[in-house]
Structure 1
């Protein structure tokens, strides 16, 4: 990773009881439990998040990996395929039925209205989707 690339990461999932092998020697997260979902919030780190970090999450066996491009209000979601890389998603399999387009619309609304209004809109949309 390049120095100075800042991002925020979030990992979601049940502990599966298996530790990954060392994929990033010398870093604090050399041995980790693979989460079901990892999300990177990218501003200046977008290229790194889509390249190097995506390969790390593939190696770790994360089920899904999302990158939120804060500049474009875009969510780039990937399904990790065991030993074969990743492919783009339009709908989450980890958060069953959650469409990437809905997340992107929520991001756009959060830029146009206050966070409470955008959050309420998002919650109503999610509640209206069949589980």
Structure 2
């Protein structure tokens, strides 16, 4: 039987200037929180901004998932908020998530003036397939 974990729920976040990143409160399957930060320079093409990010997800039991991510923020004409979509690529896990790999996704919106936003995340991470001997 292959071990896997479903990532599904909602999150609210707020940019904390002193920390240089986002504090995230999560509900749903994960039941914990996260810290996120932009790494590298944003790339702007038309109404889209492309960001490289890192997230550290921490569940209530102390288990963690670290990711390297690609986010796209899309400006919508006439709206102050941006639409955001992120693909999270798992790079390290601990505790109950030890050995799990893969990716999951989110979409939502952010207010660039305040750094506050809300999103929906979903997907599943699991054990890497055993290689044939």
> After TM superposition, is the score higher than 0.5?
no
Larger RCO, structure (CA 8 Å, separation 6 or more): 2
More strand by share: 2
Q: TM-score, normalised by structure 1?
A: 0.30
